Structure formats: C-alpha cells, structure tokens
Structure 1
Amino acid sequence: MALMQCDFYSETLGVSVSMNVILPQRTTTQIGMASASSGEARHPVLYLLHGLSDDHTIWLRRTSIERYVASLGIAVVMPAVGRSFYANMKQGYNYWDFISEELPALARSFFPISDKREDNFAAGLSMGGYGAFKLALSHPDRFTAAASLSGALDARFFIEQNKEEASRIFGSASDFNGSGNDLFELAKQRAAEGNDRLPLLYQCCGTEDFLYDDNARFRDEALELGLPLTYEEGPGEHEWGYWDRQIQRVLNWLPLTKKES
C-alpha cells in the first residue's frame, strides 16, 4: 500500500486543508502483509470520515486500516472537516459542498480513483457516521453503499446538548428539522422515490454507547421505510476498540466487485 499526506487548497472553503490517502499497490515481497490492486485503471474508493473531536489522521492512528484494506484493492480517502458536522455551516464554512462536491473531484484529479457509482463508498464513526449516511442518502446516484459506526444519526441530540455550537452549524432546531441535514427526512425522501438504486446501508452501535438510543430510532425508521439496512449491535461503548473491530466488518460487508486479485 501507498500512504500519502495530501495538503491542498480548497476553493470552496477558501483555506488550505488536508487529507490522508491510502492507495492500492500490488506487492509480492512485502513482509507481513500481502497487498493487492484491483487491476483496474482507477481504484474503488472508500471515503472514511472522522468524528467530532478528531481529524484526517485519526483512522490511521487508532486502527490498522491500511493493513485491513491491503488485500482489497481499494483506495481510502480520509479528509479533515473540523467540527462542521459535514454541513454548510450557518456561521462558518461550506463543508458540505466541500465534502460532497469539491473533495471527490479533486481526489479523482490527484489520484487514480473511480467515479463509478458501484466503486464509491462512504463510512465513518460518530459525526462521521452521520456524514457517511448523509453522503449516500443525498447522492444515491454516486454512492452504492455507506456505513455508520456509532453514528450521531439523530443530530437533534447534538443540537439539544450543544445549543450554542449547534446554532453556528445548523441554525435553530426549526432550521434543521426537515432540512437536507436531517437524516430522517433524507431517508423518507429516498424511500418515497422508490428507487431500486438505493444505497446499501450498514449501521452498528454498541449497546453501552451514549448514542445507542439515537441509533435505535434511526434503525426503526429506516426499516419501517424499507431501506436496505444491515444493522448490528452488541456490547460496546463509544471508543476505538469497538470501532477498530467494526471497521473490519464494514470492509467485509462492502459490495466490492473484486475482493482480491
């Protein structure tokens, strides 16, 4: 695998930003890890998103994500978005435009990654789980699957617990409810369309996690709407031991056309 720290300028944000990128590399003599490439000119890609208190380095620092994807022939793009909740902030930067429009286009221009729907995936933890589902539910034409690990899927919890910060991101509760930031509203819209190309969704949460009730509400709503949701729960808190285990399950779940080569 090749690991790259990419620092670049964002026209959307008007500032320099960073992302870490893992790229497939076919190797035969690397000790302790068999690496593979998809064999395609452009690789499938997983946009792997961080949580509220983290940045683009965290998945590499807290898990063995590079080792886990080595045999899959998939690229991993890990961008930094601050505490934005992957939103166009009421007082701040347009991080939603950045993550959903500018970042994929720039990543494809910098690296050999695919723009095909069947090759594009999103995943994340906590705030990043929210961001991953928001990407897939907002753009089912671009993402074939998304995974949320202990996701902050009902952002009303964040709004209630962090009123001042949330107001700078989403505005008022009335601004948020039913908007493009409301995953429950997005889920209803996708279900109403009856699109047979709905993104596959994977959701997991530890039963001791403080976001468990929020996850249960989204699970129940998604299943009632008939969304293609795979749900798992079990013992676990809001911590990296749980996410390190679960990201491996996510990678096994992803509908990659080629698991190895």
Structure 2
Amino acid sequence: MKDFRSVEISDTAYERDGLRFLTLKSPNLQGRGDVCLFVPQVVEGLTGLPIYILLHGVYGSAWVWAMKGGAHTTAKRLMESGEIRPAIIAMPSDGLWGDGSGYLVHHGRDFSKWITQDVPQAIRQYIPCAGPNSKICLGGLSMGGYGALRLGLGQPESYSAISVHSAITRFEEMSLFVEERLDSYGRSGQSNDVVDLIKDRKVQWPPIRFDCGVDDELVAGNRLLHRQLCDLGIAHEYEEYAGGHEWSYWREHVEKSFRFFDIQLK
C-alpha cells in the first residue's frame, strides 16, 4: 500500500552521477514536492542504508545542493575511497513558498512535516536500498541549517545526528534574506529561535555540530548559539573557518557533515 496519491521517479536510463529525482504529492504541502537523491551503488539486495537529509537555503530548491554545491560528488568520493560508508543523500525542496518557507507551519501548509514525515517515508518506499530501519541524519545551510536544527531538536528521538553550516539561528535573521514580511509566517507569540527548543527540556539530544564563516553575516548568531548551548550544558561541536555566506564555503565544508554523520552511526 503506497501512502502518496502520485509519485514520479526519474528513469534510470537517464540518471547520471548517482542522482535520482522524485516528485510526490504531499498531503502536508497540499501539492507536489521534489526530492533530489544521491543513491550509491551497492550490492544488490542491500537495504537499510542511512539517509542524510540536506536542507537548502532561501531562493533554492531540490537541485541546488547537487548542482551548486556538488554534494553528491563529495559524497561519492568519500564513499568510493572508503572514508565514509554508503548512505543515501536526500536533498528535498523546502516546499517553495516565497523566498523560503523556513521549514515551518504557515499558510495552511506544514513545511516541517513535509521534511520529517513525507520525505523519509517516500525514500523508504521507493528507494530499494533504504528501509524501515534506515537511520536519519539532518544537515543544511543557512535557512536549511535553521530548519535542520529546529526539526532535529524538536524531535530528538528521530535523528542520529545534526550538522549544519552558516545557519540562521534566530528567526529574525530570516529578514536578511527574504522579501516576505516576517509576520506573514504567522509566528507571533511562538518559540522561533533555535535555543527556545532546548530550554527547560531534559532529553537525550542527538550529536550536534555547526560551523560558520568568520565573514558571514550570521556568525554573531552562531557564536551566540554556541554560548547558549555551553550555558545549558548541551554537548556540541562548533567551528569557524575563513569565508562568507557563499557556495564556495558550503562546497568545501559539506564534507564535514558527511564525516560527522558517519562517525555518529558507527
């Protein structure tokens, strides 16, 4: 029994570099959503590969992590050299609302459940080397970093690790990038910053790492989150590197997310 009314899958005859594409009708989006996947070549019959979900930033879509970030080529290189074990890299769209949905709930659509429910469910159903026991790690950049942190910390029992780059850490920082007014997201009176999800909660948090460029306009927020996590006694890794809020930075450092995920799953 399939759980989506319609699913289109790319034809293997035309797939290249391990990339595969899904378009499915999502009840949470009340429409169609896209997922770009890197599916490694593995022994026939192997199933249960982990799923590494990478969330994109504002202005982007399902293709940008691959076609601007080369995430699939980095993953393939690391897997073929034996530096990390095989994993499925999932790169979904954010739902394509405005300049960026924020991976939140608004305008009658649940952009968070699209990521936490629909995307893993579709992969487990339609990608043979995935399975019901596939572990999930969350990553992202900028707005996608905000989404990965919020979704991962909001449901800590569902994720094996979180690793993000140049993340928005406070909802107000969305205004640096989007044309839409922040009040159009309907978040007034709600807990919107990453740290709000952690305060006063005593749970087992998944392993967390994040990094930011020293010339990035979001570095102050990342430093603040680092201090807040330290004050709360939440174990994490935080690093800063040369660079700004740009694809050259994310192309270089996505490898750190893949290595971090692999280590946490050992």
- TM-score by length of structure 1 reads 0.83
Q: Percent identity?
A: 25
Give the root-mean-square deviation of aligned CA atoms: 2.4
| Cα deviation, residue 165, structure 1 | 2.6
Could you say what secondary structure the match of 1:157 adopts? helix
Structure 2, unaligned stretches of length 5 or more?
1-16, 80-84
CA shift in 2, pair 1:136/1:149, >3 Å: same
1:217 aligns with 2:224: yes
Could you say what secondary structure the match of 2:158 adopts? coil
Tell me the distance in 2 between the aligned counterparts of 1:100 and 1:65.
Answer: 21
* Matching residue of 1:67: 73
Tell me the distance in 2 between the aligned counterparts of 1:240 and 1:160.
Answer: 17
Specify the code of the residue in structure 2 equivalent to 1:184: V
Q: Deviations over 1:37-76 (max 9, x none)?
A: 6984211110110001111100111123222222130001
Report the count of equivalent residues. 238
Q: Deviations over 1:143-167 (max 9, x none)?
A: 0111110000111222588695321
Tell me the distance in 2 between the aligned counterparts of 1:161 and 1:210.
Answer: 11
Tell me the distance in 1 between the aligned counterparts of 2:45 and 2:259.
Answer: 19
Structure 1, unaligned stretches of length 5 or more?
27-36
CA shift in 2, pair 1:220/1:39, >3 Å: farther
The question of whether the paired residues in 2 share the 8 Å contact of 1:199 and 1:228 is answered with no
| Cα deviation, residue 128, structure 1 | 0.3
- TM-score by length of structure 2 reads 0.81
Q: 2:59 aligns with which of 53, 63, 79?
A: 53
| Cα deviation, residue 115, structure 1 | 4.4
Tell me the distance in 2 between the aligned counterparts of 1:160 and 1:67.
Answer: 30
1:151 aligns with 2:158: no
Q: Deviations over 1:217-256 (max 9, x none)?
A: 1111112112121110022100011111110122122244
| Cα deviation, residue 141, structure 1 | 0.8
Could you say what secondary structure the match of 1:188 adopts? coil
Tell me the distance in 2 between the aligned counterparts of 1:139 and 1:238.
Answer: 28
Tell me the distance in 2 between the aligned counterparts of 1:38 and 1:200.
Answer: 31
* Matching residue of 2:234: 227
CA shift in 2, pair 1:154/1:116, >3 Å: farther
**Which structure 2 residues correspond to residues 70-149 of structure 1 after superposition, within 5 A?**
70=76, 71=79, 72-81=85-94, 82=96, 83-89=100-106, 91-111=107-127, 112-116=129-133, 119-149=135-165
Tell me the distance in 2 between the aligned counterparts of 1:234 and 1:257.
Answer: 22
